[in-house]
Structure 1
Amino acid sequence: METPVDDGADRTIRVLLVDDQPDLAEVTGLHLENRRDSFEVVLAPDGPTALDRLEATAVDCVVSDYEMPGMDGLELLRAVTEREPSLPFILYTGKGSEEIASEAISAGVTDYLQKRTTSEQYDVLANRIENAVARRRSERAREESEGRYRTLVDASPHAILVHYGETIVYVNDTMVRMFGFEAQSQAHGTAAMSYVHPDDRDAVRERMRLVLDDREESDWIAWRLLRDDGEIREVESRGTPVVYDGQRAVQVVVRDLTDQRRRERQLGALNGALDDLAAADARTAVGETAVDAVVTLLEAPTVGVFEAVEGALLELAVAGADGVGFPPDARGLPDDSVEMAAYRAGTPRLVDSYAAREDRLVDGVASVFLFPLDDDGLLWVGSREGFASADRDALEILGRAVVAAFDRLDD
């Protein structure tokens, strides 16, 4: 049986007093109730009866004699612990020895006290009971609070971790995904600094120290996170001092800024490219500017600007990622290729699974984005990873700027 969690409304402390001497048990019970208005003492003459009482009554503490017929105090302690491990148990015996005390401690007794027939002894026993129950209630309240905390944090859309010093003791599911793990257990017990880029560790460590020492919430700090798969993510975090499992700790909320930072860089690069295209004085300069812009906008792209000349698409400017590139002797695109089909259709086209096509121009490219430049040619961009919608939007803006630059030169 599990005793209901105390909600603070009922402060009664129910004591199960187990003693095979009824008169002595009754006197002890009266002394305890006289010393604490909150005490309510239930008597049991032996171990089996005490176990029945536990099944029928919510009890906050067991106080038991040691030497009793049928089941002694240590046997009762083991039986109670098996049923309810956290229930305080005080061995209160008139026949004590170091051997009994040692065995009781090994069995998990909360406290050990020898009987005395003095008023002071009842004061001591009342204090021991009150303190033991207070500790248990405090622990259960903490566990309940942390249970609610975990429920809230687990459901949070924000990535959250908790660490003692530099050791991670908790992560929520969003943080698990940010780390690139499959389960929370993969992060538990690991060093927080192992996920921080080496160049950022001193700044992050200093911020962690300030939160732990000053017990104040930190400002947001930007740093680079190292995922389990080696990918680097740009993040920012804020630390808050908390108490977790009874210890001082730091709760960290982490926000992934990688896509936001990338879009900011793309916008900067795109604005620069638009200015350069507006100033380009030759078609070759337009092509080279467009290629350079794509290399800045995307990660490791393969890119080409092909110019329409008498119905054919000829290479004007190209750049390849490491190990990937257009054949040096193939300036023109095949007439029956997917590229020529997109050019003739005049609409942008995303070609997934490009590496599986027999008519592919290059190897090592997973997806290709084709943007017809009106009658002037084609912008060809290949990626090993594929294209996000923001990437395609940026490429379309760039493509329209290239068309405008060609039109300006043709006027």
Structure 2
Amino acid sequence: MGTTVDGATDSARILLVDDQPDLAEVTALHLEDRRDAFDVRFVTDGPTALEFLDRTAVDCVVSDYEMPGMDGLELLRAVNDREPSLPFILYTGRGSEEIASEAISAGVTDYLQKRTTSDQYDVLANRVENAVARRRSERAREESEGRYRTLVDASPHAILVHYGEDIVYVNDTMVRLFGFATQSQAHGTEAMSYVHPDDRDAVRERMRQVLYDRGESDWIAWRLLRDDGEIREVESRGTPVVYDGQTAVQVVVRDLTDQRRRERQLGALNDVLGDLSGAGSRTAVGETAVDAAVTLLSDPLVGVFEDVEGELLELATGGTDGDAFPIDSRGLPEDSVEMATYRTGTPRVVDGYAGREDRLTPGVATAFLFPLADHGLLWVGSTGSRGFAPTDRDLLEILGRSVVAALDRLDD
């Protein structure tokens, strides 16, 4: 009964359920006559309808109410248990507010009473067509958002989506930037709570422009407040999107913290190189090197030791708090890792420094040792758990070579 439209992408299979076969056949013919895309199949009872649905894909169910064994509402509940999104239209000859109310409570898509007029089939065809269109539109939106989320989740950029100021989505990169463990920790929070107070007016104005002007914004720089209180330097760009059917803003965030820190470090290093070239004594060279290392890194403890007749004696020491760490006036121990590194002439990073018996001072997690040719040793200690990043080591090696050049100049 009924035929599909060959090759038509908008064909729709309708399952008609009515315990009166003659009436069901007439209804199917009228529906197919009014919509070429309709392929209407009919069965005469609820259990058979469920068996049909188990083996055949259907776009809409149209069911009578009064049927033996299983009425239309019972069938509706059974269909909803199987496929909640499948449109279900109750098309019944028995009309009452009680049935209509119960059908709505049970999740019916539409409710239509059978009538004797010929235009009832036009109304039914419209109701079916609209129900199928809504379902397909919803499925298309879900598929589109599924593809969107797949692409965004895999993006190396940090991305979030917000309605107004409420965050509704973040990808894994954004989760890490926020300092969270899971995406759910950010959902429902206010976007502005992660913006430094001094930057909020500028960021809020940019958000307003995207929402109301419906255009992509330029990149804007601001400071992000992580969950752990750390401040990251970022820039972001907003784009208007539709998310879960609502107007929203997608924000791509780029973390510039390391890049900006590197720029500041290179600027400071350039200034230091000029200071070293003008240093008039070995002590001045040592103190300049200590100040430079403190400026270049976060919370380091720094020492420059000079070779005096084979012993490494303190030339200059210091740290971010301005206090020098205690060093035996007799010089570094002969069996220390510092002396061993000086003899090899090869720079070294010493992890787990705090646990060494030959450590110079407690509280230093990682030490960077740079032999200064035959002049001595540059010692830099990191109190943090992160140790020295590759860029930090590069800067310290440049500093070490510059100290060697300054000391060579003083010896000439």
**TM-score, normalised via structure 1 length:** 0.93
**How many angstroms does 1:126 deviate by?**
1.3
CA separation in 2, counterparts of 1:383 and 1:324?
15
Aligned-CA RMSD value: 1.9
**How many angstroms does 1:14 deviate by?**
1.7
Q: 2:86: which partner in 1? A: 87
Residues 45-82 of structure 1 show CA distances to partners (whole Å, capped at 9, x for unaligned) of: 22122222223332111111111111111001011111
CA separation in 2, counterparts of 1:367 and 1:9?
69
Instruction: Describe how 1:208-223 pairs up with structure 2 within 5 A.
Output: 208-223=207-222
Q: Does 1:279 align with 2:278?
A: yes
Identical residues among aligned pairs (%): 83
Provide the secondary structure at the position in 1 that maps to 2:119.
helix
**How many angstroms does 1:237 deviate by?**
1.7
Cα distance change, pair 93–323 in 1 and its aligned pair in 2 (3 A): farther
Residues 182-205 of structure 1 show CA distances to partners (whole Å, capped at 9, x for unaligned) of: 222222222222222222222222
Provide the secondary structure at the position in 2 that maps to 1:253.
strand
Provide the secondary structure at the position in 1 that maps to 2:218.
coil
Q: 2:398: which partner in 1? A: 397
Residues 258-313 of structure 1 show CA distances to partners (whole Å, capped at 9, x for unaligned) of: 22111111111111100111111222221121111111110111111222223322
Residue 33 of structure 1 aligns to which amino acid in structure 2? E
Q: 2:146: which partner in 1? A: 147
CA separation in 2, counterparts of 1:355 and 1:378?
19
**How many angstroms does 1:172 deviate by?**
1.8
Gaps of 5+ in 1: 1-7
Q: Is the 8 A contact 2:327 2:360 kept in 1?
A: no
Which moves more between the two structures, 65-74 or 197-206? 197-206
Q: 1:48: which partner in 2? A: 47
Q: 2:155: which partner in 1? A: 156
Which moves more between the two structures, 208-217 or 288-297? 208-217
Q: Is the 8 A contact 1:223 1:235 kept in 2?
A: yes
Residue 51 of structure 1 aligns to which amino acid in structure 2? L
Instruction: Describe how 1:199-348 pairs up with structure 2 within 5 A.
Output: 199-322=198-321, 325-327=324-326, 330=329, 332-348=331-347
Residue 389 of structure 1 aligns to which amino acid in structure 2? P
Q: Is the 8 A contact 2:8 2:37 kept in 1?
A: no
**TM-score, normalised via structure 2 length:** 0.93
Q: Is the 8 A contact 1:86 1:136 kept in 2?
A: yes
Q: Is the 8 A contact 1:315 1:331 kept in 2?
A: no
Which moves more between the two structures, 76-85 or 176-185? 176-185
Q: Is the 8 A contact 1:324 1:364 kept in 2?
A: no
- How many equivalent residue pairs? 404
Q: Does 1:33 align with 2:32?
A: yes
Q: Is the 8 A contact 1:324 1:363 kept in 2?
A: no
CA separation in 2, counterparts of 1:28 and 1:266?
80
Provide the secondary structure at the position in 2 that maps to 1:306.
strand
Instruction: Describe how 1:107-186 pairs up with structure 2 within 5 A.
Output: 107-186=106-185
Cα distance change, pair 99–330 in 1 and its aligned pair in 2 (3 A): farther
Q: Is the 8 A contact 1:348 1:371 kept in 2?
A: yes
Instruction: Describe how 1:97-112 pairs up with structure 2 within 5 A.
Output: 97-112=96-111
Q: 2:353: which partner in 1? A: 354
CA separation in 1, counterparts of 2:56 and 2:374?
89
CA separation in 1, counterparts of 2:124 and 2:322?
81
CA separation in 2, counterparts of 1:350 and 1:374?
17
Q: Is the 8 A contact 2:217 2:237 kept in 1?
A: yes
CA separation in 2, counterparts of 1:324 and 1:207?
45
Q: 2:20: which partner in 1? A: 21
**How many angstroms does 1:249 deviate by?**
1.5
CA separation in 2, counterparts of 1:322 and 1:278?
26
Provide the secondary structure at the position in 1 that maps to 2:169.
strand
Gaps of 5+ in 2: 1-6
Q: 2:191: which partner in 1? A: 192
Residue 400 of structure 2 aligns to which amino acid in structure 1? G
Cα distance change, pair 101–30 in 1 and its aligned pair in 2 (3 A): same
CA separation in 2, counterparts of 1:337 and 1:351?
12
